[in-house]
Amino acid sequence: VTLLEQNPRWRLVPRGQAVNLRCILKNSQYPWMSWYQQDLQKQLQWLFTLRSPGDKEVKSLPGADYLATRVTDTELRLQVANMSQGRTLYCTCSADPGQGNNQAPLFGEGTRLSVL
């Protein structure tokens, strides 16, 4: 059963151009949604966790700038700008971090970004 739907699955991004990613949650049991990046060396790094509609956060990391938005209870977005190296962005979902034993992030299929 697919918990998360990410799109696009792959995008070639001209240098200097921004790209918008979308993630749709299919199971409301896991409302804590996050973004992780995986670099070309396969290193995984947490970027953001957003729980409530309207939440927004920005972050700059080596190789890209990010703006994350929780649009609705089921939709999370990520804008990636100034990307200089390719990477894969994963959307995840998990249960309430203060309760229970379903706190492991569950991953979507990812969006692979390459720089043109």
Partner 1 sequence: AQSVTQPDARVTVSEGASLQLRCKYSYFGTPYLFWYVQYPRQGLQLLLKYYPGDPVVQGVNGFEAEFSKSNSSFHLRKASVHWSDWAVYFCAVKPGTGGYKVVFGSGTRLLVSP
CB atoms within 10 A of CB 17: 12
Site for partner 1 in 50-89 (CB under 8 A): none
User: What's the DSSP call for residue 53?
Assistant: T
CA atoms of 111 and 7, how far apart (whole Å): 7
Give how many residues touch partner 1 by CB under 8 A.
21
Stretch that binds partner 1, among 22-30, 59-67, 77-85, 104-112 (CB under 8 A): 104-112
Give the residue, chosen from 8, 14, 16, 97, that forms a contact with partner 1 under the rule CB under 8 A: 97
Tell me how many helices (H) and strands (E) the chain has: 0, 11
Q: Which of 17, 29, 45, 85 binds partner 1 (CB under 8 A)?
A: 45
Position 3, amino acid: L
Q: Of these, 8, 16, 46, 56, which contacts partner 1 (CB under 8 A)?
A: 46
Contact between residue 28 and residue 49 where contact means Cβ atoms under 8 Å apart = no
Nearer residue to partner 1 within complex by CB, 26 or 82: 26
Q: Closer to partner 1 at the Cβ: 43 or 52?
A: 43
